[in-house]
Amino acid sequence: MHLRTKILVGVDFGGTKILTGAMTEKGEILGDPVRIATDKDEEPNAVVRRIAGSVEDVLRGIGKTAVDVEGIGLGVTGPLDIKRGTILECPQLPRLHFFPLRKAIEDHFAVPIFMNNDANCLIYGETLFGSGIGKNTVVGFTLGTGIGCAIIIDRKIYAGFTESAGEIWPSPYLGGTIEELVSGAGVSRIYKELSGQDMTSRDVAALAEQGDPIALTTWQQFGRHLSVAIAWTINVIDPELVILGGSISNAFQFFAPSMESALRKFICPMPAERTNVVCGRLGANAGFIGAAALAIPDA
């Protein structure tokens, strides 16, 4: 008897882009993911149509329709009310405050819909199918415009009492918050303090590639700041592995030495010997893969 392949769809929905893809329960990507821009000024129903259209485009590309789909996972920039499937007051999505996104997508497709924070989904995808394969307890950081953190325990996303586990971005650090220095904006801030010039984190990485001494110093300082955030979580969670994802992780070679040097001084002796910090290996697809994985029963 031929068993029908179970198709899962994941949507990585952020303030600038929507990336949608299909996969099997084993993490095998089916067809080509579809990337479209997020129009943060669109009214909610238009956003739902945009997301639904990306799902339909992906399914059309593999010759399937919604009736072939076991579930759709949404990885959404937060904050969220995960239990209710509602976006709360999200600065990146100002027209969607308190919008019940999960129900809206469920009404459109009439298939099971799952929803979680986009950082949680990215690290969940890496745990199941990327750098964390075989690990049960993982802490991950998404380094981009801001900083996200996810905690995976027994291969499940740990949400916490108020579903805020891992939300370290407002934590106090050097008179401000950790996100002010450990983020893309933080890289720009450090570079400006050193040079007086405005540069994006992407520009600073490009300059570091050319051997620019100020850019290299910027990444060294960034690595030391990042080590503090990683040390907090290692000392509290004692994970098997720490995974870094997001656009800033592409500059790993420039900030890893200073991060590692400082980190090993800040954590307990056993994890200092045994706990590794690595980059994710699923690239830009990690978010939608992790979102789709939300629909895997007993993953």
Is the predicted pLDDT of residue 145 greater than 90, yes or no? no
Is the predicted pLDDT of residue 187 greater than 70, yes or no? yes
Three-state SS for 245?
strand
Is the predicted pLDDT of residue 193 greater than 80, yes or no? yes
How many residues are present in the chain? 299
d(CA 116, CA 140): 15
Mean pLDDT of the chain: 94
Per-residue confidence (pLDDT) for residue 1, from 0 to 100: 38
Per-residue confidence (pLDDT) for residue 221, from 0 to 100: 98
Domain boundaries, the chain: 7-123+285-293, 134-280
Domains 7-123+285-293 and 134-280 equal at CATH topology level: yes
Beta strands 138-143; 7-13: pairing state: unpaired
Per-residue confidence (pLDDT) for residue 185, from 0 to 100: 94
d(CA 14, CA 41): 13
User: In CATH, which superfamily holds the domain spanning 7-123+285-293?
Assistant: ATPase, nucleotide binding domain (3.30.420.40)
- In this prediction the pTM is 0.94
d(CA 252, CA 277): 10
Least confident residue range of 22-31, 35-44, 146-155, 165-174: 35-44
Is the predicted pLDDT of residue 297 greater than 90, yes or no? no
- Tokens for 46? 């238009």
User: What would the pLDDT profile of 91-134 be if each residue is shown by its tens digit?
Assistant: 888 899 999 999 999 999 999 999 999 999 999 999 999 999 99
Q: Answer whether 209's CB lies under 8 Å from 107's CB.
A: no
Closest CA to 150 of 72, 262, 38, 75: 75
Whether CATH 3.30.70.260 fits 134-280:
no
